[in-house]
Amino acid sequence: MKWRRWVLVLCMLLGLSAPGWVSAQEEVVINPAEPLIIGLDPTFAPYGYEENGEMKGFDIEIAAEVFDEMGMEYKFQPIDWGMKEQELYNGNIDMIWNGYSVSPERKQQVAFSKPYIEGRVGILVREDSDIRTKADLAGKVVATQEGSSQLEAIQADEAFIESIGELVTFSSFNEVLAELESGRADAIVIAELVTRYYFTQNGQGEHYRMLEEDFGVTETAVGFRKSDTAFVEEFDAALDKVMASDAYDESYNRWFAEIGGDSSESQSRDYWGPLFEGLKTTIFFFVVTLVLSIPLGLLIALLEQSGPRWFKAVVQVYVYIFRGSPLLLQLMIIYFGLPFIGFTPDRVESALFTMVINYAAYLVEIFRGGLNSIPEGQYEALRVLSIDRWTGLRRVIIPQLWKIVMPSVGNEVISLVKDTSLVYILGLNELLKAGRALSTQYASLVPYLNVGIIYLVFTGIVTLCLRYIERRIQD
């Protein structure tokens, strides 16, 4: 029974938040005959990031050395960092390797390799600040990155949490640093190694000061499924050899130089090239979703109008579900939930399927409203003139329908331009994600401004096209 499958999917998804969810697919193991798939956040410089289609960073270079030592092929798979453990246990990736800090909570979910780097969790303030110690932060605003090991370190210090005025979290280091720069935060808690890279990139290190007190030292390692412990032992042996080599020291000094050190990475900055690559993905999802969802929505609305009561009830449930829940949640359920019942669509298939049925649900309601606004007398006239239903729809009803619904359809089309950015959750490198990667890579907010300009130009072109179509329909 299909309904039983869907109940199973819902149960599995609800179980994702339970502590023991990872046990559901522990039988998935690394296949040494196939290239290893390394999951990473392609925006997390200096550990691993994408530049002009090429992966760069400290972890990228160490991975090359380790798998050369092991004689194994590998490839990188961009993922959304917030879904990394789900990606691992769904079998979409074989390991998590991207500045992945070791913590007691994560040890319950994954098998860690030996740590290959460690760094201090520090407190950064402005250079002119009077704050010298943790105690000086009593009643002050402190910011850090959400979902980070720094946040876990703060939360573990209950006395500190109770003493400060407010703890604010942001999705990226750039946003955290901007909060300190603007004066809205009095201090930020950050990984010292990452801070070195940022200040080497933007040359603003002299404006800030690191307190002597800190939240301890965190270790960084590679995360595997707990069912891959045999592979982890082999991996650790190769990692030990690499860490003892000159190649490791050269990479470390290149990516984590002291503040003020030389950085060849800052010599050329290409903001637009990667953004236009991301724009191609955005346009692809916009066009395909638009082309498929409009006829699907119209067809369902027409079938509902003349269909039996049970069919109308099914359509109403479909519309209720997809209009009543966030598109982001639907993307996560389709991509991460379907593998539990034996369907494993890839990232592009999952994103397209979800966006098409989501937008078709909205369009069904728009077309249904348009059909209901056409006087019943016109349908009766078609029957009196013995014109069959589909000929009447094609030549009389639908031309009128377009004139009625075009403004509402236009609003949905504009919304679709912006909603394409949600496919980032599946690790797809669309325009906004490309901007975020550049912002992290160059320690600058300028890429976000460029992304805004591209979206405005894109939306402007779409608006002009819609107005042209609307004028042609009204003529």
**pLDDT per residue over 130-187, tens digit each?**
999 999 999 999 999 887 788 888 988 999 999 999 999 987 777 888 889 888 999 9
Does residue 68 register a pLDDT over 90? yes
Residues 6+ apart with CB under 8 A from 392: 379, 382
Distance CA(445)–CA(51), nearest Å, equals 17
pLDDT in tens, 276-309: 999 999 999 999 999 999 999 999 999 998 889 9
pLDDT value at position 1?
44
The confidence score (pLDDT) of residue 257 equals 67
Query: Mean pLDDT across the stretch 198-223?
Result: 87
Residue 271 — very low, low, confident or very high, per pLDDT cuts 50/70/90?
confident
pTM of the model: 0.71
**pLDDT (0 to 100) of residue 258:** 59
Extract the tokens encoding 473: 């329909």
The mean per-residue pLDDT over the stretch 419-433 comes to 90
Query: pLDDT value at position 286?
Result: 97
Mean of the pLDDT values across residues 117-127? 92
Mean pLDDT score of the chain: 86
Question: pLDDT at residue 3 above 60?
Answer: no
C-beta separation of 153 from 107 below 8 A: no
Q: Across the strands, what pairs with 433?
A: none
The mean per-residue pLDDT over the stretch 242-261 comes to 81
pLDDT score of 60: 95
Average pLDDT over residues 8-28: 48
State the helix-helix crossing angle for 398-419 and 347-373, rounded to 10 degrees: 140
Interval 105-120: pLDDT, tens: 888 889 999 999 998 9
pLDDT for 217 beyond 60: yes
- As a whole number, mean pLDDT of residues 318-338 equals 93
pLDDT > 90? residue 423 = yes
In the Cβ-directed half-sphere of 425, how many Cα atoms lie within 13 Å? 20
- Tokens for 121? 């969790």
Question: Do the beta carbons of residue 447 and residue 275 sit within 8 Å?
Answer: yes
CB-based burial label for 5 (10 Å; 0-12, 13-18, 19+): middle
Tokens standing for residue 281: 């993905």
Q: Examine the pLDDT at 65 and tell me if it is beyond 90.
A: yes
Task: Check residue 4 and give its pLDDT.
Answer: 47
CA distance 274 to 49: 12
Question: Higher confidence at residue 467 or residue 19?
Answer: 467
Mean pLDDT of the region 435-464: 89
